Structure 1
């Protein structure tokens, strides 16, 4: 008899999540727009002013600042930031000015249309977003680039990796009640799929991981552990390789503990890839109002290091200041 316990910890995790950026009190979008205009018009550009304003306002407030900026100066704030700034600091400041779905769409577009496909970007975004977020990303992608996200993924990737991404990009994961008996059945199917590793079994594996609800999959993963005596992530790592392996593992980890997944990705980006700027910028901006403070807690718990101090040790100048401002919120203890 398979012994399955309801994964209360899974729900607790998401009740605990907290970002680092919140709405600024006494907000005045017109005054902020004027200060940004003055900062950008200076010969050397007052980068500290840009950081102080854009990293201390929530996304909705930044969008209102952009509207006020357009009204006052008759120019687009993003265009002016791109013109006046450079390198990674520019990527941070410009990235902050997109709404979340448009920022994800922007990152996905460059991942598939840039020089070489950035598979890890596709994995990070599509494995971690909810149905509603995926729908908004597809809409933003179409509006911003007059292109279809799923068609572009299809043309730039291949094999079961492509099939799994395409499934995730539909944003049709089930939502609702859990079924213990079905969890045992799915766990058995997953175990068989991992052992046989045929094309058909890879398809079955991705269909379960991409379509079952998060709550249901938590039960499935526990049943898998009880049936096989092995963690499903360890089993996937043994049976698969390449980007498909990374994607399947990302799906599982995001369902089990999304902040921990992003802590792992940040640690890898900082320590394994020589400070992979694109990954670090993307995660910090995208998670800043969702769970970045929780990510910082997971980072220190798992790696015994502070994300704040790791960034400080590897970045420099105004780029460092901007990343730390996003990362810090009102607490530097993690």
Structure 2
């Protein structure tokens, strides 16, 4: 795929010749990125395995000698269980080096195989073979090519649902080093100019930029070409792909506000969407959503909710929309037990439940606190999904994605919203929960059960899954 003129002189982005070749001076080669620079895989002279070819070695690549493998059908015994030394063969292994066992922490923690800093080089993976999941590029990710990833129901008893305890960054999209909006919009312009639209080029670009790098593209496009990027996209692409691209170009708060607006004013109230957004966002995010909603639609979010809902559900949503939840990480265990008893008394052995008790606790207490309060057995139905979202957010989103892909009709809007909004938050945890709950990877579920969405998400980087 060729992008003449980007950047002007000295190379192009993506490369001008060959699917992965980087021209000199290209934009911009990152340490460990694909394609590999000198010292990466394939091995250079002196690297493992010997020879200049890819693994497995071609005929003649193994050292000369008695032959490898032996012609009699078996490997001859050797002292220490290794292969017999051959003339001109591999040097004797040093302590702690291949073929001995790797040091603590595995091979990825040690320099080796030509990759600076240790481990496989990070960066963009190549295009996966048809039907095959590409290799994730984030550190510590599960290897989808290994047996068991995405296949079969996990053996042994199913562990109880619990929030993910993984620390650090849990999204699948990160900032792209050195991204330049003016250069990026040139890629988008060329992808949409002329006969047909290069959808892969759009996916590759947007899928390798974080939200804060994508949003400025609208202003950069108008500055460069005097045209509106959103209008050009709408004129060039349609359907789910259009919805996905436009969602990715919105700031988080603007995207959430537009989804809430659609949930309230669309054909029927999408109660699940309202609960999903208001129960999973932080106080700061909810307050920003309120500001954007009022500015965009001339009406406060609270008023919009009040005019379209009723009863306890309305009171629950209004409380959640205040963005005033306690966000301390510490938990008072004795208070959690007391409140668990209150909720138990409010919901058990009664004709109706005391929903005000649930509202006061569920909408004000911190999420770590509520995870200590056992309320599943007696929670009112109107609060049930809010409780599930709070107590195990990743499991809740995994279930939402699963249901969005089931049945006669698929809920494309729900699928796009969750994949886009969680891609920089906790998509790794959602993937783990999906595999645990349904015995297959999220990637497999989308590719098998939702073909047209698979085509959208299955770019060379498969950026959201």
Looking at structure 2, the residues matched to 299 and 200 of structure 1 have their Cα atoms a distance apart, in angstroms, of: 33
Aligned residue pair count: 303
Are 1:27 and 2:179 matched, yes or no?
A: yes
Could you say which residue in structure 2 is the equivalent of 1:285? 420
CA contact (8 A) 1:311 1:324 kept: no
Unaligned runs of 5+ in 2: 1-161
Are 1:235 and 2:378 matched, yes or no?
A: yes
Looking at structure 1, the residues matched to 197 and 274 of structure 2 have their Cα atoms a distance apart, in angstroms, of: 34
**1:82 partner SS:** helix
* Post-superposition offset of 1:175: 2.7
Looking at structure 2, the residues matched to 203 and 305 of structure 1 have their Cα atoms a distance apart, in angstroms, of: 40
Looking at structure 2, the residues matched to 28 and 209 of structure 1 have their Cα atoms a distance apart, in angstroms, of: 44
* Change beyond 3 A, Cα 1:24–1:268: same
Could you say which residue in structure 1 is the equivalent of 2:266? 114
Greater C-alpha Rg:
2
Query: Residue by residue, what CA displacement relative to the aligned partner does 1:61-97 show, whole Å, maximum 9, x if unpaired?
Result: 1122222111011222122222322111111010000
RMSD: 2.3
Are 1:193 and 2:346 matched, yes or no?
A: yes
Looking at structure 2, the residues matched to 207 and 197 of structure 1 have their Cα atoms a distance apart, in angstroms, of: 19
Looking at structure 1, the residues matched to 297 and 408 of structure 2 have their Cα atoms a distance apart, in angstroms, of: 30
Could you say which residue in structure 2 is the equivalent of 1:312? 447
* Change beyond 3 A, Cα 1:325–1:22: farther
Could you say which residue in structure 2 is the equivalent of 1:86? 238
Looking at structure 2, the residues matched to 123 and 175 of structure 1 have their Cα atoms a distance apart, in angstroms, of: 18
Bigger helix share: 1
Could you say which residue in structure 1 is the equivalent of 2:456? 322
> Superposition pairs for residues 154-303 of structure 1, below 5 Å?
154-176=306-328, 177-195=330-348, 201-221=354-374, 232-236=375-379, 240-241=380-381, 244=382, 248-272=383-407, 274-303=409-438
Are 1:57 and 2:209 matched, yes or no?
A: yes
Could you say which residue in structure 1 is the equivalent of 2:65? none
* Post-superposition offset of 1:235: 3.3
Query: Residue by residue, what CA displacement relative to the aligned partner does 1:253-283 show, whole Å, maximum 9, x if unpaired?
Result: 2232211110111111112464211110110
CA contact (8 A) 1:21 1:326 kept: no
Looking at structure 2, the residues matched to 27 and 103 of structure 1 have their Cα atoms a distance apart, in angstroms, of: 22
Could you say which residue in structure 1 is the equivalent of 2:32? none
Normalised to the residue count of structure 2, the TM-score between the two structures is 0.61
Kindly indicate whether structure 1 or structure 2 has the higher relative contact order, using CA contacts under 8 Å at least 6 residues apart: 1
CA contact (8 A) 2:221 2:229 kept: yes
Unaligned runs of 5+ in 1: 1-8, 222-231
* Change beyond 3 A, Cα 1:160–1:168: same
Query: Residue by residue, what CA displacement relative to the aligned partner does 1:33-52 show, whole Å, maximum 9, x if unpaired?
Result: 01111222223222221111
> Superposition pairs for residues 27-46 of structure 1, below 5 Å?
27-46=179-198
CA contact (8 A) 1:284 1:327 kept: no
Query: Residue by residue, what CA displacement relative to the aligned partner does 1:174-224 show, whole Å, maximum 9, x if unpaired?
Result: 133432232222111100111155777111112111111112222223xxx
Looking at structure 1, the residues matched to 312 and 461 of structure 2 have their Cα atoms a distance apart, in angstroms, of: 35
* Post-superposition offset of 1:326: 11
**1:235 partner SS:** coil
